[in-house]
Homo-oligomer: A and B are copies of this chain.
Amino acid sequence: MQHEVTYDRIMQTAMGFWASKTLMSAVELGVFDTLASGPLDATVLRLRVGIHERSARDFFDALVALGLLQRDQAGLYSNSREAARFLDRANPNYIGGIIEMFNARLYGFWGSLTEALRTGEPQNEAKSGGDLFANLYRDPVRLEGFLRGMTGITTPVADALVEVFPWKKVNRVVDIGSAQGCVPVRLALAHPHLTASGFDLPEVGPIFARYVAAHGASERVRFIPGDFFQDSLPKADVLIMGMILHDWDLPTKKMLLGKAHASLPHGGSLIVCEMLIDDAREVHLPGLLMSLNMLIETRGGFDFSGADCISWMREIGFSDARVAPLVGAYSAVIATK
């Protein structure tokens, strides 16, 4: 007798951390980098990545079942198309920096989710008196790795942003919290008439300059050092805030929206990009889980729906606010001053 209601989905969710951690360990061990130079059999691959014989085949074959590796008739493993594009450190589309950060930090911190829910307090470096951003910005190598990962994640979002807005009428656009400068670079390359800039903390400057130079965009993409808590925002026809607002509590969100409004000309636009929660708050899991990640990572941050963002924008004085889906879990909220 089969049951109509099964526990399959519950157990798949419960065991989801096995697949996550398997992917994280593969990135940590350099499996995808090792295979970037060509297919290898299980023995050579395990010796190159430095793992014990006992579970090497199970590990590699689990990566096959996850669609990250392929194994041919001769038993040679190679990267899948997804892994070759996004998980090989030498590929400009590498997103593994984010996964390394999950592995080194978030997996452990999420182990204290119950405590986070009970106390409302972050469970990251802040718990022992540290600060996520201060820690990140102190170590240039770690910072560049993290920012490279953010760039990998952001590239398809930036490419969608290139398509979704009438850039022809815009002269000057500034990305607030630009990191390496992926968004201004993609915009400048797609729309040669644009002057695109990135605004971020001064420490980001050299990393921004290297990324922009590597993309041959140094002539048209500039870095504007600043701190959006201390300074007013740069003047521009369009301001972009990608994955910035969700880091902060509601008064800070509104303060940032207000600074954007103050810097824009009449008719100028603000574009907010986030993993939006659906307005009914019952479907879009990535946005809801990202909001729990803001609990783990910040003192007051939270994710929000398009309707939430539009209501704050209107309160600040923006008009014509609308949601535009971008790619994957990402959407934009676009408003006019």
Contact = CB atoms under 8 A, between A and B. Distances in A.
Interface of A: 1-3, 5-11, 13-25, 28-29, 50-59, 61-62, 64-68, 71, 81-83, 85-87, 93, 95, 98-99, 102, 107-108, 110-111, 113-114, 116-120, 152-153, 156, 159-160, 162-163, 277, 281-286, 288-289, 291-293, 295, 300, 302-303, 327-329
A21 B65 CA distance: 23
B14 A23 contact: yes
B18 A289 contact: yes
Given A66-B13, A111-B107, A289-B62, A156 B18 contact: no
Contacts of A50: 118
Contacts of A14: 20, 23-24, 98-99, 102
Contact of A17 (B62, B110, B163): B110
A282 B24 CA distance: 19
Given A25-B113, A29-B117, A59 B292 contact: yes
A254 B248 CA distance: 59
A57 B29 CA distance: 38
Given A117-B56, A120-B54, A285-B62, A13 B7 contact: no
16 contacts: A2-B159, A5-B86, A6-B156, A7-B152, A15-B20, A17-B17, A19-B285, A22-B292, A55-B117, A58-B302, A59-B117, A61-B282, A62-B291, A64-B281, A65-B283, A111-B111
A102 B7 CA distance: 16
Given A153-B11, A328-B11, A22 B61 contact: no
Contacts of A156: 2-3, 6-7
Nearest to A288: B62
Contacts of A300: 54
Contacts of A61: 277, 281-282, 288
A62 to B, nearest CB: 4
Contacts of A107: 17, 111
Of A20, A116, A283, A291, which is in contact with the most chain B CB atoms at under 10 Å from its CB?
Answer: A20
Given A62-B288, A289-B22, A162 B111 contact: no
A33 to B, nearest CB: 15
Contacts of A7: 82, 85-86, 93, 95, 152-153, 156, 328
